[in-house]
Structure 1
């Protein structure tokens, strides 16, 4: 029997082992729960939970139980590596994107890392390399004229006869302004509270990507600050601890607007504006960054302040996609003959 088959067999065998013969439920650590509790981002927690579930479903055809996870963490180094390499091979065979494969591997590696910290795992998976990725293949989004049409739809809704439609239009208008004017991520909008907005200073405190809960103060364009102020005025909420953006439908009124809710708003308005490209909050972020590079004649340093990318090479990718240098040089060469 191969090491991979042996590892899978051992994992499956744990399911038929009577509770108490290996671990007592009240003594055995719940390593998955420990891992998820260590993650600050709700989106990351959901993704890692999904990825870990997928790993155990693929290699054992079972959902991960506490004992099953511990059996995996108690494997020998060679068995564990072969098991995970076999899982990776299946992901590649199923033609998953490189980024998806790398995220799933990262979840498993994080699980073993937590296991080592609490003393239930003696091996590492760090020698298993991820797939090479090419980030931001399409960073163009839409141009400013197309986005202006989207913004106009929300702007018109601010004057709707229905109070609910008017409230929704004012909210959506402010949300779109922030996505474009500050190139915000939807998670940054989702987590923002009323107290994070300073109308006098025209600033918004956001929890950026990978900031470990630390808030970053960003300056707002005048129209953005006005749009938020109008939204808060018509909403009439005075509790500063409440979410900045909320759902306004009858079933969910007052609940924090979710990331999926923000996505749905953008998708709906862009379709209504006749934009053929599938749009999302991150596509608007792409659009804003590209437009900023156009407006500053490719001033990467300045635009990095807007995008808040830690690695300036990421901004350069936007600039390369925008500039079409290859096409320009090819034309120069063609003109020489």
Structure 2
């Protein structure tokens, strides 16, 4: 008979001596496995060979639900604990301490699907209005940058990587050529607000910022070089601060808002996929969860039979 506590001590010695785990990692394993031993004891199991797959699965359920002595764990924390348990049983089988591995088929819980954070339209508009210091060349640049980010759903790297020649603003169907991940190109329409802002920047500000090192870069810094991702990020953060927007805002926030507002307006998810440059529609479908959540909130507050 192999007692669980003794086998776990052997496993921890293996992690320390053979694997050379860091002290903090080893302490995490020890803590997670101590809780597992407590669970086995509560199940009346004092022989490692008596552990079943159902017993390990029940431990995972207990982790998520919590008990009198432990708060519920989120998916990531529960998955980390299960990694320790699975590693222990795999070691016990390999070392001949047991004849089977009851944890092999117990899968960690899927991570919670994080919904993209989109700003209300009023907050986006307030940020755009607050871009830059009024009356300066940089203000025109900042407004053009933010209008283009929100108006096209471009990634920040795509926007700062633009050259003037990537724009076609002189026709009825204005568009911009964006280069996404893996060098994949896509042509995205540009709305009238972004066209006006970029045109004002090109006519009244970029010539003043340009230098011999500017090349064809669209968005320039104060020294005439291409605007960096970090500086573009700072432009947005400062505009959000001026606008009094308290939510955490990043360039990706404008991209999320672009997609969510399109879907709220009735756009097809596959059209949004193309505009965002997603390789798979599955990536884009996470935005539909946001719009469904919005619908639920409206329904819960507006429908007479929805209120409890």
State the TM bucket, normalised to the shorter chain. 0.5 to 0.7
Rate the CA distance shift 1:333–1:149 in 2: closer, same or farther, 3 A.
closer
Rate the CA distance shift 1:223–1:133 in 2: closer, same or farther, 3 A.
same
Whether 1:204 aligns to 2:176 is yes
Rate the CA distance shift 1:151–1:5 in 2: closer, same or farther, 3 A.
same
Tell me by how many angstroms 1:313 deviates. Answer: 2.6
The aligned runs of 1:225-236 (5 Å cut-off) are 225-233=195-203, 234-236=205-207
After superposition, the C-alpha distances for 1:165-202 in whole angstroms (9 at most, x for unaligned) are x1111001101111111111111112222232233353
Contact 1:207 1:215 in 2 (8 A): yes
After superposition, the C-alpha distances for 1:93-144 in whole angstroms (9 at most, x for unaligned) are xx9x96xx9xxxxxxxxxxxxxxxxxxxxxxxxxxx999434442x242111
Whether 1:321 aligns to 2:295 is no
Rate the CA distance shift 1:327–1:231 in 2: closer, same or farther, 3 A.
closer
Contact 1:170 1:230 in 2 (8 A): yes
Contact 1:140 1:290 in 2 (8 A): no
**Residues of 1 paired with 2:245 and 2:254: CA distance?**
12
Query: Please, what is the CA RMSD of the aligned residues?
Result: 4.0
Contact 2:236 2:250 in 1 (8 A): yes
Tell me by how many angstroms 1:328 deviates. Answer: 7.4
Partner of 1:2: 14
Whether 1:216 aligns to 2:186 is yes
After superposition, the C-alpha distances for 1:178-229 in whole angstroms (9 at most, x for unaligned) are 1111111111112222232233353222211x3x224322222233233223
Partner of 2:111: 133
The partner residue of 2:270 within 301, 325, 329 is 301
Secondary structure of the corresponding residue to residue 130 of structure 2 = helix
Tell me by how many angstroms 1:329 deviates. Answer: 8.1
Partner of 1:142: 119
Tell me by how many angstroms 1:266 deviates. Answer: 0.7
Rate the CA distance shift 1:89–1:270 in 2: closer, same or farther, 3 A.
farther
**Residues of 1 paired with 2:274 and 2:196: CA distance?**
22
**Residues of 1 paired with 2:224 and 2:307: CA distance?**
65
| Higher alpha-carbon Rg | 2
Contact 1:195 1:241 in 2 (8 A): no
Contact 1:194 1:241 in 2 (8 A): no
**Residues of 1 paired with 2:113 and 2:178: CA distance?**
24
The aligned runs of 1:47-86 (5 Å cut-off) are none
Rate the CA distance shift 1:194–1:330 in 2: closer, same or farther, 3 A.
closer
Secondary structure of the corresponding residue to residue 293 of structure 1 = helix
The partner residue of 2:236 within 259, 266, 277 is 266
Secondary structure of the corresponding residue to residue 2 of structure 1 = helix
Rate the CA distance shift 1:145–1:333 in 2: closer, same or farther, 3 A.
closer
Secondary structure of the corresponding residue to residue 201 of structure 2 = helix
The partner residue of 1:278 within 226, 231, 248 is 248
Tell me by how many angstroms 1:258 deviates. Answer: 1.5
**Residues of 1 paired with 2:215 and 2:240: CA distance?**
31
The aligned runs of 1:18-97 (5 Å cut-off) are none
**Residues of 1 paired with 2:306 and 2:188: CA distance?**
47
Partner of 2:129: 152
**Residues of 2 paired with 1:195 and 1:89: CA distance?**
56
Partner of 2:59: none
Gaps of 5+ in 2: 1-12, 33-72, 80-106
Gaps of 5+ in 1: 9-57, 61-84, 102-128, 161-165
The partner residue of 1:172 within 120, 138, 142 is 142
**Residues of 2 paired with 1:280 and 1:203: CA distance?**
24
Partner of 2:68: none
Secondary structure of the corresponding residue to residue 242 of structure 1 = coil
Contact 1:207 1:216 in 2 (8 A): yes
**Residues of 2 paired with 1:189 and 1:235: CA distance?**
15
Tell me by how many angstroms 1:7 deviates. Answer: 5.1
